[in-house]
Amino acid sequence: MGAGKRGLVTAAVTVVCAVTVLAAPGTAFASPNPSPSPTPSASATAGTNKDLEAVRKQLDDLYHDAAVATDEYNAAEEAADQQSAAIVALAKKIVKGKEKLAELEKRAGDSAAAQYRTGGLPDEAQLMLSDDPQQFLNGAGRILQGQRATKGLIAEMTRTQEDLEQYAKDASAQWNKLEANRKTKAAAKKKVKKQIAAAEELESQLEKEEKERLARLEQQAAYQAQTAWLDSGILDEINGKASTQGKKAVEYASAQIGKPYEWGAEGPGSYDCSGLTSQAWASAGQAIPRTSQQQWKQLKHVDVADMRPGDLIIYNTDASHVAMYIGDGAIIHAPRPGRTVTIAGAGSMPILAVVRPDA
């Protein structure tokens, strides 16, 4: 896409998003100059706006902490699922190991029974009683084979028994980890609910007019951040084209627009931020980590100027939020509780890194 055309598209996206915000509070773009609400005096307006700005920052902090706790919950849940699967796999190994050990014990029993039938004399003693040279030679060969087989049988029984003991230890260790992650998951769940409840309680104390002005403040902050990001000229450098998988991931994410945010959710009816990105890439045939922090840690990092549609943008210094870049300076993401999957400006939040699932 040429620079002139891309500039027109970017401008169009910004205008459309700004107009959309006026009709639907809660999206990430905003009008550059939201209309002030009527107030008795200028001094009263300043004081009220200052108070609402403090509320906005407090809400941001509460929802940020909820997002961090959600990541902890998702990580614990993913680990617990992996540990449960490991325990099941070890249990199957233990069952097979016991079956193998039973078979080896049967073979050892058969050997002992054969020895009993010869009167209890070892094969070597029976051989020495033979006067037939050929029988002696044949017997010597059989004894040598039998000794080797017996040694092999004993060694295999020993290895099988050791394997069973190790499987049992591994299963016990995985169980302990599973219990620890269950506790972590429960603690994170409690924290998420606490933070969201506190945010909802804070918002419930606002009057309708205050909520509307608060929404405009949120939109204004996002708009200013996006504008500053675009004014840096970064969009002139970004011209990467989506890969085949990236296009599929973007298509999936786009189809989820309007669905509600729900912490811990991976669809199909609702999503949290990393639930959306991980499922979008799963639909494209690429498995990626479940949480935004693990996506940041494990996926390949690329420069912002080199990003292409389908890449993931990690936000905040603690990697507590993630969105999918869709081109022309825009993202699709699941913002926070009370919001829906939406389009926003890629620079509307502090960018930590860009990662590429299909590197």
Residues serving a catalytic function are 273, 321, 333
Nearest-angstrom CA–CA distance, 277 and 219: 23
Nearest-angstrom CA–CA distance, 271 and 274: 8
Residue the block writes with tokens 């189809």: 255
Nearest-angstrom CA–CA distance, 189 and 184: 8
> Would you mind telling me the total number of residues written for the chain in this entry?
359
Instruction: Please state, as a whole number, how many other Cβ atoms lie within 10 Å of the Cβ of residue 58.
Output: 13
Q: Cα dihedral sign for 296, 313, 32, 213? A: negative
Nearest-angstrom CA–CA distance, 325 and 106: 63
Contact between 259 and 341 (Cβ < 8 Å): yes
CB-based contacts of 267, cutoff 8 Å, min separation 6: 256, 259, 275, 276, 279
Contact between 63 and 336 (Cβ < 8 Å): yes
